[in-house]
């Protein structure tokens, strides 16, 4: 489990394709490696990965073909910056919200607009996820816990908007987003459980 509070921005050091269709991903990092060990979980752009090997300044994880298809990890290249967060512990402050590291789909940047010290970014939503987003609710974008500022529909497609504070712009990869970029999305797991428990729920 994670909280959506990015600890540092790492860099892809190597992408090694495997015969099975998987990829062995090595990421240069520092802070998330403190106290980490083999088998521990680290979120990479919001995707929960397991440490399969560790060096002083990097870790390696195997990424399944299904994960490559369903997330933005399949578009990474050597040198790509990535948001990193170690798994939460019983003493971790819940500064964001409960994030599982299980991507629900990918969204696309529609617009990015400056608003004082903030940036407002509007994302297109994949089909079926709109029902889990509400104004003032939570969503994880590339592993970053954000508050939904607005939701709506435009030309038959669903969208949501977030406001990024200066700290988020500086300390996560969201500050580097441009129109057309794709991002990993994870909706609030509590919304999915509520839907499942209600009569007729499908989550």
Q: By residue range, what is the domain housing residue 77?
A: 8-86
d(CA 12, CA 23): 12
Over residues 141-198, the pLDDT tens digits come to 999 999 999 999 988 889 999 999 999 999 999 999 999 999 999 999 988 888 889 8
Over residues 49-74, the pLDDT tens digits come to 999 999 999 999 999 999 999 999 99
**82 and 156 both lie in a single domain:** no
Domain count along the chain: 2
**Residue 138 pLDDT exceeds 90:** yes
**125 and 55 both lie in a single domain:** no
Contacts of 15 (CB under 8 A, 6+ apart): 23, 24, 25, 26, 76, 77, 78
Over residues 64-118, the pLDDT tens digits come to 999 999 999 999 999 999 999 999 988 888 889 999 999 999 999 999 999 888 9
Q: Pick from 54, 86, 118: which residue ends a domain?
A: 86
């Amino acid at each position: 489990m994670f909280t959506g509070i990015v600890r540092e921005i790492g860099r892809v050091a190597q992408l090694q394709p495997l015969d099975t269709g998987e990829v062995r991903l090595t990421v240069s990092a520092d802070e998330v490696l403190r106290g980490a060990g083999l088998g521990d979980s680290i979120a990479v752009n919001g995707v929960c990965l397991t440490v399969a090997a560790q060096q002083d300044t990097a870790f390696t994880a195997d990424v399944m073909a299904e994960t490559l298809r369903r997330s933005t990890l399949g578009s990474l290249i050597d040198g790509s910056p990535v948001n990193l967060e170690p798994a939460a512990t019983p003493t971790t402050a819940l500064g964001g919200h409960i994030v599982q590291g299980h991507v629900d789909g990918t969204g696309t940047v529609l617009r990015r607009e400056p608003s004082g010290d903030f940036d407002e970014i509007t994302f297109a939503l994949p089909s079926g996820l709109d029902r889990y987003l509400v104004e003032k609710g939570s969503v994880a974008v590339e592993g970053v816990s954000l508050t939904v500022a607005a939701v709506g529909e435009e030309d038959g497609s669903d969208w949501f908007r977030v406001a990024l504070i200066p700290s988020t712009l500086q300390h996560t990869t969201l500050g580097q987003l441009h129109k057309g970029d794709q991002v990993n999305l994870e909706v609030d797991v509590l919304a999915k459980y509520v839907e499942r428990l209600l009569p007729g729920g499908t989550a």
